[in-house]
Structure 1
């Protein structure tokens, strides 16, 4: 599937409004714009691509069926990420009934930023060091770094997606960055021969 051209938030808000009014073309455009970012985000929680795709499809199906009762979103991306996150947790809980939903979830870390960094400037040894440090962070810190730096979300939108308050987002983000700095200074540099 091809990647759609970047679209302004103003245009996305207009599409969202039109979709809520029953415009199928706007609905289709929203799916085209957000399916890939939602898949990248959702695949951080689940091993199965098919499971994530099913959850995305369920989110969009439910949106269409409830379009008249859905509120106007200030940030459509955050709204959809939150809906997907909740859907994944809800569906996973049906399979793993003993798992605590909010605290025992998996968040896979594979930032595409690493690939870009390699391609742009940094050597492989620094990239390996960064990957090892990121993998050592707790899952919530990984998720918050992903949403902030990969998806470019504000603290308010991260709070909405993760269903936590803004101060918690600030604290987790601050803690994550301090951990990165601490581990970066402690971690040995790897030399690739």
Structure 2
């Protein structure tokens, strides 16, 4: 037991030392590219959960196992090709774009496909968790979230994605444009149309709507 405790303490010390020496995304990424397994583990620990949530919210596939497999394959491919990867100062942005591309290649997803053909049971909890943080107490929380969930599910595929990227993952409009392969102006228009649709659907007060609106448009 003493030996095990000593080993655990050593690992914890190593991770703390790594964290103190590598503060920026660029430093962590460059360490990973050089074969640092602690840096690789840190990248996975920091981003795997949000990547899985993003994959679910995209609804490119309604099969959670497919999304999980793509995520695992992505990290495996990153490790295997690490020496040839370009530098990045935003690991999260890099990974989100890579996962979306991988999912689309795997599923051969067509964005012209009707949203009625896609499983609508996934992604609702993620939206509820993100939007709840900016709502004020105007009515009961349960009723409010139910109304928002229904309204969110009524948005188009791209409207759901742009709202998720903008608010929940806090990407800039420029980054969203790259991830979604749209021009900058189209991203702004898509966000505005989605928010207008949400407001029309749930009939919230102008004060509450502006709180939500200001969180998306910067």
| C-alpha contact 2:47 2:92 (8 A) present in aligned 1 | yes
Q: Distance in 1 between matches of 2:25 and 2:176?
A: 19
1:75-95 alpha-carbon deviations (Å, 9 max, x no partner): 2111101111111111112xx
Change (3 A) 1:181 1:37: same
Unaligned runs of 5+ in 2: 1-18, 205-218
Change (3 A) 1:82 1:13: same
Q: Distance in 2 between matches of 1:180 and 1:23?
A: 45
1:46-76 alpha-carbon deviations (Å, 9 max, x no partner): 2222211110111111111221221111321
Q: Distance in 1 between matches of 2:112 and 2:31?
A: 37
Match of 1:177 in 2: 195
| C-alpha contact 2:128 2:145 (8 A) present in aligned 1 | yes
**2:130 maps to 1:112:** no
Match of 1:139 in 2: 157
Match of 2:6 in 1: none
Match of 1:52 in 2: 67
Structure showing greater radius of gyration is: 2
Q: Secondary structure at the match of 1:22?
A: coil
Q: Secondary structure at the match of 2:85?
A: coil
Match of 2:33 in 1: 20
Number of residues paired by the alignment?
173
Q: Secondary structure at the match of 1:103?
A: coil
Q: Distance in 1 between matches of 2:50 and 2:203?
A: 32
Q: Distance in 2 between matches of 1:173 and 1:89?
A: 22
Change (3 A) 1:103 1:13: farther
Match of 2:110 in 1: 101
Match of 2:76 in 1: 61
Match of 2:94 in 1: 79
More helix by share: 2
| C-alpha contact 2:166 2:173 (8 A) present in aligned 1 | yes
Match of 1:4 in 2: none
Q: Distance in 2 between matches of 1:102 and 1:14?
A: 36
Q: Distance in 2 between matches of 1:65 and 1:115?
A: 35
**2:170 maps to 1:158:** no
**2:53 maps to 1:40:** yes
